[in-house]
Amino acid sequence: MAELLFWPALLAYGEAAVAYFGEARRPGLAGRLATWGVRIGWLVQTALLALQAARADGFPWSTWAGSLNLFVWLVVGAYLIWGCQARYRLLGLAVLPLAAVLLALAHAGGGTDVGEKSGYSNLFLVLHVGLVLAAFAGFTLAAALSALYLWQERRLKRREATILRVRAPALARLDELAARTTAVALPALTLGIAVGIARLRDRGGGFDALMAVTLLTWAVYGSYLALRFAAGLRGRRAAYVLLAGFVLVAIVRLALPVTHFS
Amino acid sequence: MSSLVLVGISHHRAPVELRERAALDRERAAALARQLAGETSEAVCLSTCNRTELYLADESAEEAERKAEAALLALEAELGPALYRLRDEAAALHLFRVAAGLDSMVPGEGEILGQVRAAFEAGSTGRVLDRLFREALRAGRKARSETAIGESPASTSSAAAALAEQVFGDLHSRLILLIGAGKVGELAARNFLSRGAEIAFVANRTVDRAAELSERFGGTALPLDRVEEQLVRADVVLSSTSAPGWILDREAVARVVPARRGRPLFLIDLAVPRDLDPAIHELDGCYLYDIDDLEAVVAETLAGRRREAERAEAIVAAESERFREWQAALDVVPAIASLRARAEEIRAAELRRAKLNDAERRAAESVTAAVLNKLLHLPTIRMKEAAAAADGVIYADAVRHLFGLEDER
């Protein structure tokens, strides 16, 4: 049953990714096909997650691959909130290929299987993993917005004559949206870390690399927001800071083992 | 059957000096249409800055063409060599292309659709022209909605505003610093104003002229030496003076950038020689476009419009073909109607002659009506098909001759 849901979800995300490339070349039908691909893929993945939750003994996404599956769902869900609007469609070029690749990785690692067992309390994991992953999903979107910002800014700086043919969202909107996304994601990460620290103090345990990089990530995004509101950090430099933060998110998600869960 | 005739002049063959002499306002165009239509035919006069065209539907194409030509030559005797004359399918296709903006100087320009609608509403239309103009308006809307032919800016002023939207998004409440109070800057400023931006400052060498402009558009009048101090507040700088050197150099703008706290600044230099130091573009958050940059963008978007025009041509051709089929069916519809009426007349007469009781009469009526319908079904279909394939008149004449319907034409 899980396979029956995984493949359509992956296909839909893949179709959306390809259609977004088509949209970039010739806006119109491809954009609508991409939007429907995202919607259908996300709904099917929601069904997959629901099935995993129903059949799991404990929290079903405590493994590296499982949490990646949940992470993809959160990223696409966050994108769906406003990403399907016509003026932000090009953002799908950054988000959907990433979602398709990460979902395939999650599948390869067994993160889309049903009947997973977890030795951790549900409430702790839901709060800790859920909040941290939601925050990372937000940071991923902020990074996609920043990448789009830098691309659009480069076109304006190069005075590309074709700039009005393939219209990207305006610089000011991308900058503002990335800041808002970060402003929502950072409190989620703060709460997720706080829950983790509370559990660490309660049950004991060591400080590992995952925690260190996560705290560093928090510091980067915290500094970004502080500098933005206190010193007016905006534009290209702000985009670079958000991309640097995303490198840390990628390290946490992909390069480090989920040591304190295993 | 009514023939469709078009006689007119346009920017393709008539220079503006000639076109302006044949241009009619709405009232005069309506009056001319009424005069040409008379009591038996239909007429619409489409008059814009790029064309004056008369569309007529009349039983005699030659007579309609002669009337239209005479009417145009009465407006201006020298129009003769520039006149074009089209009939039926060609005339319909021409109007469909006009409505889609495919015959305009700038492909896809948006104004023409409204002008065609206005001409239609002011015209003296009947069955043919009513259908023609409705279908043309539909084709025009379809070409615009299904292609990007009308989406990109076609002038440097509108390109400047579209580029500013690429920086700020919505231009609503964005503040403009207008440097130079000449016509060029005013035209560009109007484009920004139409998109919701506000003129905050007008700077000019002579403050009186700046004050005059700021009275009309709002904002504060400034001398040129106070431009730098207002750069902190402005979002867009529009410059078009005739000054021989820089009005703003890199250092002046660089001094202001920190105080702007990361807010982007979009600068447009429409002046030749240029007013704004090109090195300003190197500053973080500053985007400077001069007249050459804008013209390159316009050239690209016009090329894009031409590419889209190919797709729009296909849409227009398909819509025009639908009209042609409808018009062709007009050839055979009277013949079909006469044939059916004659058959029904014969059936009714034979039934009247027959000595039948009520039950038998009802049965006979039912059977004969069914026989008649089945017998005439195929010829009806074939005639409509033949009409669409342009053989309609031959078929219609053959039917009239074979069934003796000539007197009913």
pLDDT score for B1: 61
Residue B278's closest chain A neighbor by CA?
A157
| Percentage with pLDDT > 70 across chain A | 92
Report whether pLDDT(B177) > 90: yes
Residues A83 and A191 in one domain: no
Q: Give mean pLDDT, residues B138-143.
A: 90
User: pLDDT band at B327, cuts 50/70/90?
Assistant: confident
Report whether pLDDT(A120) > 70: no
Residues 282-341 of B with CB under 8 A from A: 284-285, 287, 289, 293, 296-297, 299-301, 304
Instruction: Tell me the shortest Cα–Cα distance from A161 to chain B, in angstroms.
Output: 4
Residues A221 and A145 in one domain: yes
Structural domain boundaries in chain B: 3-146, 156-293, 326-408
State the average pLDDT for chain A.
Answer: 86
User: pLDDT band at A240, cuts 50/70/90?
Assistant: very high
> Per DSSP, what are the bridge partners of residue B301?
none
Contacts of A242 in chain B (CB under 8 A): none
- Distance (Å, whole) CA B292 – CA B279: 16
Report whether pLDDT(A257) > 70: no
User: Does the domain made of B156-293 have the CATH classification 3.30.70.1710?
Assistant: no
- Residue after which a domain boundary falls, among A67, A96, A119: A119
What are A159's two structure tokens? 């005075």
Residues A183 and A249 in one domain: yes
- Judge whether B119 is closer than 8 Å to chain A, CB to CB: no
The alpha-carbon radius of gyration of chain A (Å, integer) is 19
Residues A104 and A143 in one domain: no
| Percentage with pLDDT > 70 across chain B | 96
- Residue after which a domain boundary falls, among A69, A98, A119: A119
Selected catalytic residue, list B16, B40, B49, B259 = B49
**Among A27, A167, A236, whose Cβ lies nearest the Cβ of B166?**
A167
B49 belongs to the catalytic site: yes
pLDDT score for B298: 87
User: Global pTM?
Assistant: 0.69
Contacts of B303 in chain A (CB under 8 A): none
- Distance (Å, whole) CA B393 – CA B332: 7
Report whether pLDDT(A236) > 90: yes
pLDDT score for B85: 92
Residues A127 and A37 in one domain: no
Residues A126 and A42 in one domain: no
Which segment, A113-117, A205-209, A242-246, B88-92, is predicted with the most confidence on average?
Answer: A242-246
Say yes or no for a CB contact (<8 Å) between B287 and A156.
Answer: yes
Q: Give mean pLDDT, residues B293-313.
A: 86
Residue with tokens 């306002």: B25
**Among A159, A171, A232, whose Cβ lies nearest the Cβ of B264?**
A171
pLDDT score for A262: 46
Angle B242-B236-B288 (CA atoms, 0-180°, nearest 5)? Answer: 70
pLDDT tens for A190-233 read 999 998 888 888 777 777 888 889 999 999 999 999 999 998 89
Cβ atoms B329, B383 nearer than 8 A: no
User: pLDDT band at B376, cuts 50/70/90?
Assistant: confident
pLDDT score for B307: 81
* Residue type (1 letter), A4: L
What are A81's two structure tokens? 């909130």
Say yes or no for a CB contact (<8 Å) between B163 and A161.
Answer: no
User: What is the pairing mode between strands B51-58 and B198-204?
Assistant: unpaired
- Distance (Å, whole) CA B270 – CA B258: 26
CA distances from B223 to B179, B182, B202, B204, B217 (A): 9, 14, 8, 5, 17
pLDDT score for B398: 78
Q: Give mean pLDDT, residues B203-222.
A: 89
- Judge whether A159 is closer than 8 Å to chain B, CB to CB: yes
Residues A115 and A175 in one domain: no
pLDDT score for A84: 67
pLDDT tens for B379-405 read 787 777 776 666 666 777 777 777 777
State the average pLDDT for chain B.
Answer: 87
pLDDT tens for B39-86 read 668 899 999 888 899 999 888 888 888 888 988 888 888 888 889 999
Q: Which of A36-50, A119-133, B148-162 has the least mean pLDDT?
A: A119-133
Which of B50, B162, B65 lies closest to B102 in space, CA to CA? B50
Q: How many residue pairs bridge chain A and chain B with CB atoms within 8 Å of each other? A: 66
Q: Please state whether B206 falls in left (phi above 0), alpha (psi between -120 and 50) or beta.
A: beta
Residue A213, classed as helix, strand or coil, is helix
- Distance (Å, whole) CA A180 – CA A198: 28
pLDDT score for A167: 78
Residue A72 backbone dihedrals phi, psi, to 5 degrees: -60, -45
Residues A129 and A255 in one domain: yes
**Residue A157 structural domain:** 120-262
Q: Give mean pLDDT, residues A129-141.
A: 87
Q: Give mean pLDDT, residues A61-83.
A: 83
pLDDT score for B185: 85
DSSP for B35-84, written as a single string: HHHTTT-EEEEEE-SSEEEEEEEES-HHHHHHHHHHHHHHH-GGGGGG-E
pLDDT score for A117: 64
CA distances from A237 to A55, A150, B287 (A): 46, 10, 16
CA end-to-end span of chain A: 27
pLDDT score for A114: 76
- Residue after which a domain boundary falls, among A104, A119, A134: A119
Residues A163 and A222 in one domain: yes
Residues A92 and A133 in one domain: no
The 3-state secondary structure of B249-274, one letter per residue: CHHHHHHHHHHHCCCCEEEEECCCCC
pLDDT score for B155: 81
Residues A72 and A133 in one domain: no
**Fold topology of B3-146:** Beta Polymerase; domain 2 (3.30.460)
Residues A185 and A85 in one domain: no
Torsion angle, alpha carbons of B356, B359, B362, B363, to 10: -90
Interface test with A, best of B232, B297, B307 (most A CBs within 10 A): B297
Q: Which of A122-136, A161-175, B112-126, B255-269 has the least mean pLDDT?
A: A122-136
Helix axes B88-99, B291-353, angle to 10 degrees: 140
Residues whose CB falls within 8 Å of the CB of residue A252, separated by 6 or more in sequence, listed in order: A136, A210, A213, A214, A217
pLDDT score for B26: 85
Residue A164 backbone dihedrals phi, psi, to 5 degrees: -90, -5
Total tally of structural domains belonging to chain A: 2
Which of A11, A3, A8 lies closest to A100 in space, CA to CA? A11
